[in-house]
Chain A
Amino acid sequence: MVAHNDAQLKRSVAMREHLSRFHEYTLQLDVPGNVPADSLAMHPAFTDRSARMEAIIKLIREMTGVEQKLLHSRAQSRDGYMQKTYKYKWIIMMVAVVFLSSAFILLDREIRRNKRYGIDLERTIDNLNRSNSELEQFVYVASHDLQEPLRKIRSFSDRTISKYRNALPEDVYHMLSKIDESSRRMQLLIQDLLSFSRIVNKGTHPEGLDLNTALLQAQSNLSEMITEHGAIIESENLPAIQGYPSQMEQLFQNLLSNSVKYHKHGGKPQIKITYELVQGEVIPKIKPSHTDLHFHLIKVSDNGIGFRKEFAEKIFVIFQRLHDRNEFAGTGIGLAICKRIVSNHNGYIFADSPDGGGANFCIYLPA
């Protein structure tokens, strides 16, 4: 109890000294006959013992006084400390309350914003779906109903030519032929638009399919064209994917026929199909959410006439053509259909044409 206080320690040492002497004296005096009863008060042991006793009492008083003072000051400091703690408690509590409430407000705001965002998203999806199905309907109906009058124009001009061929002046015949030619071209455009609009995934689910089979099927569909031009087609082993078999077949068919069609004059078309598995981040302009995925890269390369670099994106736009109609026939739907098919499979398609000629089509399909 006094170990921490030097003054008190000294006092307690002194007190121990007094006490032991007191004890000694008491033992001396207690032995019967050692000290005669009448001379007890005069005996040095007795007087000294009394003096010791007083000293002890004094010491105890001093020590008690000191301890009480200490106790008092400690109690005071404790009170002060408690008061301070109390204050700190309040401050901490206030801070906590402020912190919690601001967190709550922030959270609430975030949740509200999230909810609003969700509603917006839902509305956008609704709008998108509606405009999509309206567009599909529009294209379908338009192409159907547009075909009707066109068929009539062709049929009647056709019949006029065939029935009155000999009676017609040359320029009338020429003009009627122009009507027939233009309406035939418009028919082609409408039919292509219709086939483009039919490439949708509505109501069907993707299934497991082997791309080798799709490629073989496409080749057999084009066998006449391939034989006619002496085209050589080489392919690496292709993977199996989840998708729509008829669409994949059409994709290969359009790419192959494109390569055969735009071969170099006087040369034989050579088409190479290679395959590798790549990480999403190598794909240019990939959606951020796709970067971590793996993709099958199927590359179709030919030795044809190629195209100028600035047309690399334009060639996928519907009815965009890079050549004169007299040079190469067609409406310009083939690659637009390819792009749509690849988009239907959540993939990417790019075209490039190296300086030496030829064209490369890179198709990325999610693995």
Chain B
Amino acid sequence: MNYRHILMADDDADDRFLVKAAFEDNEIPNPIVFFEDGERLLDYVSGQTEDLHPVLIFLDLNMPKRDGREVLQTLRNNRIWNTVPIIIFSTSNAPEDICAAYELGANCYIVKPSSYEGLKEVILNVQNFWLHTAALPR
């Protein structure tokens, strides 16, 4: 079991609230840190040392200032952060968005579910796979 923290960048306050609620309702113990846009997440990341690696990063695609694609690219080109699993969490189910995300090095693409029950299930599945099943880099 991995209790390291999870990062999430999403410009939508409601979505941040709902994801937080879904984490609580699923009783996931990992702390989750939210950012309002990609730039803030990158600022946070550049101030961190290696010991404080997050276990997962959730990225929204369409955000002001720096969008998910730019953040994804920057993180994948970073020597320390290029191994952190990144999950794209977007409303878009356009084939070109999905394709582009994987090309840029995303580990997983999830279309935001359209109901809270759906969201709860998705978060539970993420926990089951990425936190319980998958072997992750230290």
Assembled-state Cα–Cα distance A156/B117 (Å): 10
Measured CB to CB, the closest approach of chain A to B116, in angstroms, equals 4
Whether B18 pairs with A159 at a CB distance below 8 angstroms is: yes
Write the A186-219 contact mask toward B (1 if CB under 8 angstroms, else 0): 0100000000000000000000000000000000
Which of A150, A151, A156, A187: most chain B CB closer than 10 A? Answer: A151
Give complex CA distance A156, B21 in Å: 11
Could you tell me the dominant secondary structure of chain A's interface residues? helix
Q: Is the CB of B91 within 8 A of A156?
A: no
Q: Do residues A184 and B92 form an inter-chain contact, with CB atoms below 8 A?
A: no
- Chain B residues contacting A156 (CB-CB under 8 Å) are 14, 18, 116
Residue picked from A148, A154, A155, A162, most chain B C-beta under 10 Å = A155
* Interfacial chain A residues near B14, Cβ < 8 Å: 152, 155-156
Number of interface residues of B (CB under 8 A): 12
Give 1 or 0 for each of A205-239: 1 = CB within 8 Å of chain B CB: 00000000000000000000000000000000000
Do A155 and B91 touch across chains, with their CB atoms under 8 A apart?
no
The residue from A147, A148, A158, A187 contacting B116, defined by CB atoms under 8 A apart: A158
Whether A155 and B92, one on each chain, are in contact in the complex, defined by CB atoms closer than 8 angstroms, is: no
Q: How far is the CB of A90 from chain B (nearest CB, A)?
A: 77
Instruction: State A184–B18 Cα separation when bound (angstroms).
Output: 18
Cα A150 to Cα B47 with chains together (Å)? 37
Q: Check if A16 is an interface residue, CB within 8 A of chain B.
A: no
B3-26 contacts to A, CB under 8 A, are 12, 14, 18, 21
A156 to B116, CA, bound (A): 7
CB distance from B134 to the nearest CB of A (A): 27
Q: Which of B14, B116, B119 has the most CB of A within 10 A?
A: B116
**A110-158 residues at the B interface, CB under 8 angstroms:** 144, 147-148, 150-152, 154-156, 158
Identify which of residues 90-113 in chain B touch chain A, using a CB-to-CB cut-off of 8 Å. Answer: 91-92, 112
B91 touches A151 (CB 8 A): yes
A150 to B113, CA, bound (A): 11
B114 is an interface residue with CB less than 8 A from chain A: yes
Contacts of A154 in B (CB 8 A): 114-116
Q: How does the 8 Å CB contact mask read for A164-197 relative to B, with 1 for contact and 0 for none?
A: 0000000000000000100010010000000000
> Which of A148, A158, A162, A187 gathers the greatest number of chain B CB atoms within 10 Å?
A158
Which of B12, B92, B117 touches A144 (beta carbons < 8 Å)? B92
Give the residues in chain B near A162, CB-CB below 8 Å.
116-117
Q: Is the CB of A184 within 8 A of B115?
A: yes
Contacting residues, chain B, for A187 (C-beta < 8 A): 114
Closest residue of chain A to B117 (Cβ to Cβ) is: A158
Bound complex: CA of A184 vs CA of B117, how far in Å? 13
* Cross-chain contact B114 with A151 (CB below 8 angstroms): yes
| Contacting pair A158 B115 (CB below 8 A) | yes
Q: Across the interface, which residues of A come within 8 angstroms of B112, CB to CB? A: 151
Complex-state Cα separation, A286 to B112, whole angstroms: 45
Are the C-beta atoms of A147 and B117 separated by less than 8 Å?
no
Whole-angstrom CA separation of A266 from B117 in the bound complex: 36
Task: Please give, as numbers and ranges, the residues of chain A lying within 8 Å of B92 by CB-CB distance.
Answer: 144
In Å, the complex CA distance between A148 and B14 comes to: 11
In the complex, A152 Cα to B14 Cα: how many Å? 7
Cα distance, A32 to B16, chains bound together (Å) = 160
Q: Provide 13 A-B residue pairs closer than 8 Å at the C-beta atoms, listed in order of the A residue.
A: A144-B92, A147-B114, A148-B12, A151-B112, A151-B114, A151-B115, A154-B116, A155-B114, A156-B14, A159-B18, A159-B116, A162-B117, A187-B114
Given contacts A155-B18, A155-B119, 12 further A-B contacts (CB under 8 A): A144-B92, A147-B114, A148-B12, A148-B91, A151-B115, A152-B14, A154-B114, A154-B116, A155-B114, A159-B21, A159-B116, A162-B117
What are the 9 A-B residue pairs with the smallest beta carbon separation, nearest first?
A158-B116, A159-B116, A155-B116, A158-B115, A154-B115, A151-B114, A152-B14, A187-B114, A155-B18
